[in-house]
Amino acid sequence: MYPWVYEAKYGLDHAWSELFVEKPHRTPAEEAALPEAERLDIMAQRNSFPELPLINYTTQYGLGCFEGLKAFPQADGSVKIFRPDENGKRMKRSMEGLRMPGFPVDMFVAGVTETVRRNLEAGFNVAYDPKWETDSFVNASAVYIRPFSYAEPGIGLGLSSYPWVIVGMTPVGSYFDPDASTAAITTDKLRATPGGTGWIKCNANYVTPILVKRWANDQGYMEAIFLDMNQKYIEEGSSCNIFFRMTDGTLVTPELGDTILPGINRASVLTLARDMGVKTEERKVAMDEVMANCVECFVTGTAAGVSYIESITHKGTKATFGNGSMGELSRELLVTLKGIQYGSRPDTHGWMFAV
């Protein structure tokens, strides 16, 4: 974790109070030179929040939500955040969906931006490397930002009326192992059920995907794909939205509903594809249709970016897309999105927020 953390608390006066907390730290170079035990001790102190209750509705029942977004180093030395306003909107919807006070979007954007700025001033940043452009930014680094809600004390089956919102951050690299298989396999497990919390970025929603993704990894696959309750239509990857380019050139992704998370990168990729003149469709996508007619497949998400899927195995049958390597559209969408995020392509939609 980086040393500066943001805390907001909803009080009895029905208003949010804010606090920026500076955790123990030295300079990044000094910390890197420390003996491992001392370095780990500083990390542990940074991840300690004694002011927050251990026993509450979040820790006991998963009654909480979170966001994931990134700050990207630019070639000119500046840092910009990708679409924090959209993450703020989704965070507010998620909190209200869990029947807790929604965190205001303007406070979300300001809190995230200021926390990034304070960590930059303390020397904690990711330096831009021009070599990242040579492989389409696949191995580039960024600052991952994790806002999350946290409930007040409680052990009964209750709702959170006076939550905290915490924002921490850490440097990250590639989400998927660039040297590993890019194959996927379907699972008969369910990520979400109709009428539930699948549309909310809710803590509890991630238990099954974590278990299923590890199962898929143990079988030699990069990703697991969830289907609907009838095991007919595709919903999501283990932690990301999914896209298919069909034989007629149309880019298709499952339509949003209460079982699918409305991804920020999902919406961005749809916009970029339309900018390129690609026909897009948001609709139900049958597994049988994909196995027969798909020529490119990729997943999107804050962590995944745009990551291609070389093949899908479904009920023992394997469909390989193209020649098993990244397709032309997948690569162009990857290069365009990453180019906007890292500043090598123009941000025509105003998605990047300066720190």
Q: How far is CA 36 from CA 41, 42, 255, in A?
A: 9, 10, 48
Domain that holds residue 117: 4-172
Q: What is the pLDDT of residues 141-171, one digit of tens each?
A: 999 999 999 999 999 999 999 999 999 999 9
Domain CATH number, residue 95: 3.30.470.10
Instruction: Clarify whether residues 230 and 148 are in a common domain.
Output: no
- Residue with more model confidence, 212 or 139: 212
- Choose one of 141, 172, 203: the last residue of a domain: 172
Q: Average model confidence (pLDDT) for the chain? A: 95
Residue type, 269: V
Q: Place 177 in a pLDDT band, splitting at 50, 70 and 90.
A: low
Instruction: Clarify whether residues 241 and 98 are in a common domain.
Output: no
pLDDT of 180 over the 80 cut:
no
Q: How large is the average pLDDT for residues 296-307? A: 92
Look up residue 76 and give its DSSP letter: T
Instruction: Clarify whether residues 168 and 98 are in a common domain.
Output: yes
Residue 276 lies in a domain: yes
Domain CATH number, residue 235: 3.20.10.10
Instruction: Clarify whether residues 189 and 167 are in a common domain.
Output: no
Residue 354 lies in a domain: no
What's the pLDDT at 176? Answer: 62
What's the pLDDT at 178? Answer: 62
Q: Give the total number of structural domains in the chain.
A: 2
DSSP calls for 205-263: GGHHHHHHHHHHHHTT-SEEEEE-TTS-BEEEESSSEEEEEETTS-EEEEPP-TTS---
Instruction: Clarify whether residues 223 and 291 are in a common domain.
Output: yes
- Choose one of 146, 172, 198: the last residue of a domain: 172
Instruction: Clarify whether residues 199 and 286 are in a common domain.
Output: yes
Residue 45 lies in a domain: yes
Q: Which two tokens stand for residue 280?
A: 């897009």
Q: How far apart are CA 23 and CA 5, in angstroms?
A: 7
What's the pLDDT at 95? Answer: 98
Q: What is the pLDDT of residues 62-106, one digit of tens each?
A: 999 999 999 999 989 999 999 999 999 999 999 999 999 999 999
Residue 352 lies in a domain: no
Residue 191 lies in a domain: yes
Residue 351 lies in a domain: no
Catalytic residues: 201
What's the pLDDT at 211? Answer: 97
Instruction: Clarify whether residues 45 and 124 are in a common domain.
Output: yes
Q: How large is the average pLDDT for residues 119-130? A: 94
